[in-house]
């Protein structure tokens, strides 16, 4: 985007300064952390962080695992952002709400199944049914959203669909609050084997986190197969590359776009159920922050790039869970865990400042590259 020949202005100097400052802070924090690990009573820690302690291996491992399992969820949501961005070139701000719809329907189904006794007797059947219903509802939400709000706007100035999607997000959020009542609603209790630790090599992973990672990996594999190995996937890639040429090649562009929304919605539905399993409750605002973080994950991984979305999700999830301990605490920030959400946004800003194309580069359609 930047013209190489253009003279460096004040803004450029400021940006360079910011880049250097942020990188220096992160490096300094990490070095301080390492020193603190070696010797908690070192002079630097004494000066800025008097109650510094060593981070135990168990605690570190716990942070990594919860970061990765959350990151896997972000990755699943991010796939939806990434695919829609690849095909239509706009951010579907309301995709987080699709995820929320998945979590909500999951809550309703699992509570109904719990009442019927299936949840406790045969957990695997219950969770499969819940996942299926969540996927159906999320997919439906995404498809209706596309039909009602986005299709009429195709070809309008770029900000118009973005603003519309903010409206859609707002509408779905408040629909949920009005129809289902505001506030947190809980999932039924998980069976014991999901709440116990499972030992894999040097790691002890809580059963539900392992389940999240496994389900995310399976979904990712299925999506990869769909996009790279099937005819539908080929059509999607063609439409992402160039809509006009794709339609000349006999691809039904409208249908492909609907498929894209549907697949993204299904992934968000799976992520919704996983959220319910991981955190045990859901509110009408559940979709908002994870949605934005998932978008950040998509950007971090390089938007339009499916593998990148998953990698970005894992990166974002683990940095959000590790950075408060690894960077903020050694820097002497008190109450660092409160800044967890702020870290996610800082990662986004940092990546956009340093490498705007994301870690793995972006794949965009012709009109966006211009």
Partner 1 sequence: MSETMNPTSEMAPARGALDQDWRKVVNWGLILALALIFVSLTDMPEKLDKRIIVEPLLSMGYLSLVWIPIALGNIVTREVVLEGMTQHKKGARELVAGLVVGAIGGLGLALLIWLLDTRDLSDPLVNWNDALLEVLTFGEGVGYGVLFWILVSAGLGAIGGAIHLLPKLATRLLLAISLTIVLAAALESALDDISEGFRLEWLFEALFEKKGGLSVQGAIILAVFATAWVLFLGGQASKGKAIVQAKREETPVAVNAIGLTLIAAGAILLPMFLGRLTNDLLTNVGLFLLLALGLNIVVGLAGILDLGYVAFFAVGGYTAAIMTSPSSPGLSPALPWWVAIFIVVFMAIVAGLFIGAPVIRMRGDYLAIVTLGFGEIIRLTVRSDWASGFTGGAQGILSIPGADIFGVVTVKGTDPQQVLYLVMAFVAIAIYVSWRLENSRIGRAWMAVREDESVAEAMGINTVNSKLQAFVVGAILASFSGAIFAAKVGSVFESSFKILVSIVILVIVIVGGMGRIAGVAAGALVLVGILGGPNQPGLLAEFSEFKLLIYGALLIWMMLKRPEGLIPNVRRSRELHQEEFLQDAWLKGQADDDDDGEATNGKVAPA
The residue ranges that bind partner 1 (CB under 8 A) are 1-2, 9, 11, 14-15, 18, 90-91, 108, 111-112, 148-149, 152-153, 155-164, 166-175, 177-181, 244, 288, 292, 295-296, 299, 333-336, 338-339, 341-342, 345-346, 348-349, 352-353, 356
Q: Give the strand pairing for 203-206 and 197-200.
A: antiparallel
Shortest Å distance, C-beta 197 to partner 1: 31
Between 170 and 224, name the residue whose CB sits nearer to partner 1: 170
Residues contacting residue 291 through CB under 8 Å, at least 6 positions apart? 77, 93, 95, 96, 97, 99, 100, 169
| 3 state SS of 5 | coil
The tokens of 348 are what? 């986004």
Rounded least distance, CB 155 to partner 1, Å:
7
Length of the chain: 370
What is the Cα 171 distance to its own chain's centre?
Answer: 21
Q: Minimum Å distance from CB 163 to partner 1?
A: 6
Q: Record the tokens describing residue 285, joined without a space.
A: 């605002």
3-state secondary structure (DSSP) of residue 186: strand
Residue 107 Cβ, how far from partner 1 at the closest point, in Å?
Answer: 9
Q: What is the nearest approach in angstroms of partner 1 to the Cβ of residue 344?
A: 8
Cβ-based nearer residue to partner 1, 59 or 178: 178
- Give min distance, CB of 153 to partner 1, in A: 7
Nearer of residues 209 and 243 to partner 1, judged by Cβ: 243
- Asked if 78 contacts 269 with a C-beta cutoff of 8 angstroms, the reply is no
When the beta carbons of 182 and 221 are compared against partner 1, the nearer one is 182
Helix axes 57-88, 288-301, angle to 10 degrees: 80
Ramachandran angles phi, psi of 306, nearest 5°:
-70, -45
Nearer to partner 1 (CB atom), residue 144 or residue 249:
144
Q: Which is nearer to partner 1, 137 or 212 (CB)?
A: 137
Nearest to 343 by CA among 367, 360, 327, 361: 327
């Amino acid at each position: 985007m930047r013209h190489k020949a253009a003279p460096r202005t004040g803004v450029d100097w400021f940006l360079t300064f910011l880049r250097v400052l942020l990188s220096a802070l992160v490096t300094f924090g990490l070095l301080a952390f390492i020193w603190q690990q070696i010797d908690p009573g070192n002079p630097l820690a004494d000066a800025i962080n008097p109650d510094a302690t060593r981070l135990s291996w168990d605690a570190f491992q716990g942070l990594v695992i919860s970061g990765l399992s959350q990151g896997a969820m972000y990755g699943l949501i991010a796939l939806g952002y990434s695919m829609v961005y690849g095909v239509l070139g706009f951010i579907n701000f309301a995709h987080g709400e699709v995820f929320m719809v998945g979590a909500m329907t999951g809550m309703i189904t699992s509570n109904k199944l719990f009442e019927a006794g299936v949840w406790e007797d045969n957990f695997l059947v219950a969770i499969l049914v819940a996942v299926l219903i969540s996927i159906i509802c999320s997919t439906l939400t995404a498809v209706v959203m596309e039909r009602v709000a986005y299709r009429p706007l195709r070809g309008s100035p770029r900000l118009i669909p973005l603003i519309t999607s903010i409206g859609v997000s707002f509408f779905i959020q408040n629909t949920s609050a009005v129809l289902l009542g505001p506030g947190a609603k809980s999932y039924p209790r998980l069976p014991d084997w999901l709440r116990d630790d499972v030992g894999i090599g040097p790691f002890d992973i809580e059963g539900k986190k392992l389940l999240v990672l496994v389900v995310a990996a399976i979904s990712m594999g299925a999506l990869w197969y769909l996009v790279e190995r099937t005819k539908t996937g080929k059509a999607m890639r063609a439409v992402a590359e160039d809509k006009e040429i794709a339609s000349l090649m006999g691809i039904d562009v409208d249908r492909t776009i609907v498929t894209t929304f549907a697949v993204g919605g299904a992934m968000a539905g799976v992520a919704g159920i996983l959220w319910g399993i991981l955190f045990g409750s859901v509110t009408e605002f559940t979709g908002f922050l994870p949605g934005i973080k998932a978008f950040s994950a998509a950007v971090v991984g390089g938007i339009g790039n499916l593998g990148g979305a998953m990698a970005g999700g894992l990166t974002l999830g683990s940095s959000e869970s590790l950075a408060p301990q690894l960077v903020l605490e050694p820097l002497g920030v008190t109450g660092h865990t409160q800044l967890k959400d702020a870290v996610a946004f800082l990662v986004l800003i940092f990546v956009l400042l340093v490498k705007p194309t994301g870690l793995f580069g972006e794949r965009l359609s012709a009109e966006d590259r211009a």
